[in-house]
Amino acid sequence: MNPIPLLHEKHILLGVTGSIAAYKAVDLASKLTQAGALVDVILTDSAARFVTPLAFGSVTGRAVYTDMWALDAHVRHVGLGEAADLLLIAPATAHTLSKLAYGQADNLLTLTALAARCPIVVAPAMDGGMWQHPATRANVATLSERGVLFAGPVEGRMASGLSGMGRMLEPLELLGEARRVLARGGPLAGRHVVVTTGPTREALDPVRFISNRSSGKQGMAMAQAALDAGARVTLIAGPTCELPPYGALVVAVQTTQEMGEATLAGTADADALLMVAAVADFRPQTVADRKIKKTENAQWGLAIGLEKTLDILTAVKERRDRTGFPRIVLGFAAETHNAFEYGRDKLLRKGLDFIAVNDVMAEGAGFAVETNRVILLGRGGVVEEMPLQSKAAVAERLIEHVAGALGND
C-alpha cells in the first residue's frame, strides 16, 4: 500500500464491534495506516473476544481504546470524537446499529459516536436474515435520516455457512469508501467526470482480435484521482485486468464503437472527459463467424483487410461544438517517435483543452508499468513537463490542471 495524499495525517477513528468479520478490521487498520492516516481504534468488549488490542496497536503504532470506565474516559470520548475526520465502524453488528439508532451510550464506542462531529460510516456485518429483519431495516432508516452513511453489506457466504445479504465489504473497498467520504468538498465536488481507460478489441473471428498493449493503469489512476478530488466519476473501461476504483460507475465495453457510444452518452452533460483509453484505430473489414483454420488459407488467404474505427474525440468535438459539453477535454497521445509534434497536432485537430503526451518507448513510461513521464500541452503551449513518477502522481497533477480549468463555472 502506497501513501495516499488524501489520507495524509487524517484522523480516522475505527470502531470494531463483536463480529467474526472483526479479523478484517485489522487488515483495514493496517491499510489505512500505510496510506498515511492516523488510526485510533475503539474495541467493544464483544470485539475483543475475536481480536485483541495488541493486534491493532501493532499495525497502527497507536493506542487502542476499550474501557469506558478508565479514569480519563469521560474526556477521552469527547477528544476522540471531536478530533476525528471520520468515524468508521467496521464491522457494525445489528446490536450496535440498534444502540446507535436509539442513542444509547453504554460503551466507549457508542459514547464516542454521540460526541463525534465528523462523518460516520458504518459497515454492517451480520448473519442469516438479520439484515432484512424489520427491526434492522427500521434502525438503518433512522440512522440514514440522521446522515449516517452505510457501506454495504453485500451478498456472500456467512460464518454459519448460509449465503445472503449481510457480508461486510472487504478492506480495500472500505478504504475506497473512506477516500470517497473524505473527498467531499474537494476541488471537483459536484462535478461529473468521465474517464476512458484500457484498450479496445476488434474481432477477427470468435477467438481472435486486434488490440494493443494498454493495461489501463493510467486511466484507473486518473479515475481514482478524480474521485479523490470529489468528482462523480463514470469510468468507461475496455478489457483490462486492473481493478476499477471504488465509487466509480463502471461501463464495460469491448470495441471502439462501443466505447464511442458510451463516451458520447456519458459526456452529454459532463464537466470533463479524460480520454485515456488506447483505442484500436483499425478493425477487420470482415469478421468470420467461426474460427479461421490454417487449413482454410485457400479461402481466407494470409492478408487481413482493415478499415478505420470510429474517431471518438472527433465525434466528441462535433457534439461539443453544438452543445458545449463536455466543458473540458483532456486527451492522451502515446507515441513511439516525434511525440511532441504528434501530440500538438492532435490537440489542435481535435479541439482539446489539454493533451498528455508520452513516449511509450522511453524507459519506465510505456505500457503495463507503474510509472509514467508526460508533457502536458494546452492550447497555449507547454503547461507542465512531468518527470518520471508513479502513474498515480501523474494523475493527481493532471486532475489539478483540469480542476483549475473548470474553476468556479
Annotation-wise, does 354 bind a ligand?
no
Peptide bond preceding 91: is omega within 30 degrees of 0, i.e. cis? yes
391 is in an annotated binding site: no
Per-residue cell: 164: 445472503
Confirm or deny that 24 is annotated as ligand binding.
no
The annotation status of 350 as a binding-site residue, yes or no, is: yes
3-state secondary structure the chain: CCCCHHHCCCEEEEEECCCCCHHHHHHHHHHHHHCCCEEEEEECCCHHHCCCHHHHHHHHCCCEECCCCCCCHHHHHHHHHHHCCEEEEEEECHHHHHHHHCCCCCCHHHHHHHHCCCCEEEEECCCCCCCCCHHHHHHHHHHHHCCCEECCCEEEECCCCCEEEEECCCHHHHHHHHHHHHCCCCCCCCCEEEEEECECCEEEECCEEECCCCCCHHHHHHHHHHHHCCCEEEEEECCCCCCCCCCCEEEECCCHHHHHHHHHHHCCCCCEEEECCECCCEEECCCCCCCCCHHHHHHHCCCCCEEECCCHHHHHHHHHHHHCCCCEEEEEEEECCCHHHHHHHHHHHCCCCEEEEEECCCCCCCCCCCEEEEEEEECCEEEEEEEEEEHHHHHHHHHHHHHHHHCCC
CA distance 149 to 323: 36
Say which residues have a Cβ less than 8 Å from residue 300's Cβ, sequence separation at least 6. 288, 292
10 a known binding residue?
no
Catalytic residue IDs: 212
**Cα–Cα dist 151/28, whole Å:** 14
Binding-site residues, please? 281, 291, 332, 346, 350
Binding-site residues for CTP, please? 281, 291, 332, 346, 350
